[in-house]
């Protein structure tokens, strides 16, 4: 019963949203470029499914590569921050600076710096999500039980042991929480950067090219928007599955 509801309720919610969207478009006769009806988007997708799937895959690749790089660096930096008060206080303002500076403003400079192609895209995905991951890692590692830290110290555990046995597992719950925000940031950065880096493939590349053509571009633009949303949902689902598997011990995964 509960399982059925957990499937049916979100489905009903999405279908209702789609129906309302369709109705609004038809009733107010909204211009296709402003808002395209879901039925037209589905039709466009079914017209060239492999084209859209391939471009989704390209964007997914940018996201996964960018986000994993960002997470790996954040774990390294976060581990140092968590073990030194001085480093933490020194790095914090830099992270905040990266977090609050609108990345759309300096993306052109990044493209000039790294050249057209994949590099500026991966850089933007990693760079925008980095502060989020870093704050998550530091917070998580600092939440490690002080009594457990003393216990490890009582048998003279080295830094590596403290990191692998205590700090990293303790940081996992907050890493998973921040990963959801990082995913949203990374997806937006990937979509936008793909257009700016003049790539040929990728949802952002074809979507932003289509956006320039206000007479015939509406179908492609809106289909890439929906494909990007689907990609985001798939990413969130993957995070939830990984969380279920890795955090069985954590209170958030019980009850």
Partner 1 sequence: MSAPIELHGVTKTFGALRALDPITLDVEAGEIVTLLGPSGCGKTTVLRLIAGLESPTAGSILVDGGTPDAARHAKRIGFVPQSPALLPWRTVEANARLLLDINRAASPTQPSASVDELLAEVGLDEFRDAYPHELSGGMQQRVGLVRAFALDAPILLMDEPFAALDELTRTDMRHLLGRLCEPLGTTIVYVTHSIAEAAFLSDRVAVMSSRPGRVAEAVTIPLGHPRAPELEDSEEFFHVETTLRAALRAGSDR
DSSP collapsed to 3 states, 83-143: HCHHHHHHHHHHHHHHHHCCHHHHHHHHHHHHCCCHHHHHHHHHHHHHHHHHHHHHHHHHC
Q: In angstroms, what is the minimal distance from the CB of 83 to partner 1?
A: 17
Using the minimum distance from each CB to partner 1, give the nearer residue, 29 or 150: 150
**Under the criterion CB under 8 A, does residue 152 sit at the interface with partner 1?**
yes
Half-sphere exposure of 101 (CA within 13 A, CB side): 15
| 31 torsion bin: left (phi>0), alpha (psi -120 to 50), beta (else) | beta
**Under the criterion CB under 8 A, does residue 244 sit at the interface with partner 1?**
no
The single residue listed with the structure tokens 């985001």 is 232
The continuous run of DSSP H or E covering 223 comes out as helix 218-246
Contact with partner 1 (CB under 8 A): which of 6, 50, 215, 251?
A: 251
Using the minimum distance from each CB to partner 1, give the nearer residue, 97 or 241: 241
**Under the criterion CB under 8 A, does residue 6 sit at the interface with partner 1?**
no
Q: In angstroms, what is the minimal distance from the CB of 235 to partner 1?
A: 24
17: which 2 tokens?
């949203």
**Under the criterion CB under 8 A, does residue 161 sit at the interface with partner 1?**
yes
Cα(155)–Cα(148) distance, rounded to whole angstroms?
11
Contact with partner 1 (CB under 8 A): which of 156, 212, 215, 245?
A: 156
**Under the criterion CB under 8 A, does residue 50 sit at the interface with partner 1?**
no
- Residue 34 backbone dihedrals phi, psi, to 5 degrees: -70, -50
Q: Which stretch binds partner 1 (CB under 8 A): 39-47, 97-105, 120-128, 164-172?
A: 164-172
Nearby residues of 250 by Cβ (< 8 Å), 6 or more positions away: 172, 173
Q: In angstroms, what is the minimal distance from the CB of 62 to partner 1?
A: 32
**Under the criterion CB under 8 A, does residue 151 sit at the interface with partner 1?**
yes
**Under the criterion CB under 8 A, does residue 153 sit at the interface with partner 1?**
yes
Report the interface residues with partner 1, using CB under 8 A: 145, 147-148, 150-158, 161, 165-166, 169, 172, 248-251, 254
């Amino acid at each position: 019963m509960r399982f059925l509801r957990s499937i049916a309720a979100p489905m009903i919610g999405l279908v209702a949203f789609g129906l309302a969207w369709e109705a609004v478009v038809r009733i107010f006769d909204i211009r296709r470029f402003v808002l395209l009806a879901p039925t037209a988007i589905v039709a466009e997708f079914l017209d060239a499914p492999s084209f859209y799937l391939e471009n989704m895959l390209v964007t997914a690749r940018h996201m996964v590569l960018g986000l994993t790089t960002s997470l790996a660096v954040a774990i390294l930096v976060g581990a140092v921050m968590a073990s030194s008060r001085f480093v933490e206080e020194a790095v914090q303002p830099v992270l905040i600076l990266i977090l609050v500076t609108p990345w759309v403003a300096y993306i052109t400079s990044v493209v000039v710096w790294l050249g057209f192609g994949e590099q500026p895209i991966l850089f933007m995905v990693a760079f925008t999500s980095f502060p989020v991951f870093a704050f998550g890692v530091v917070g998580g590692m600092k939440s490690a039980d002080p009594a457990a830290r003393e216990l490890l110290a009582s048998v003279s555990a080295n830094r590596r042991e403290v990191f692998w046995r205590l700090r990293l597992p303790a940081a996992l719950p907050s890493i998973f929480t921040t990963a959801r925000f990082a995913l949203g940031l990374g997806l937006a950065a990937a979509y936008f950067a793909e257009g700016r880096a003049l790539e040929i493939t990728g949802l952002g590349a074809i979507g932003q090219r289509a956006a320039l053509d206000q007479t015939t571009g509406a179908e492609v633009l809106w289909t890439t928007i929906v494909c990007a949303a689907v990609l985001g949902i798939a990413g969130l689902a993957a995070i939830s599955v990984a969380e279920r598997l890795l955090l069985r011990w954590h209170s958030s995964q019980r009850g």
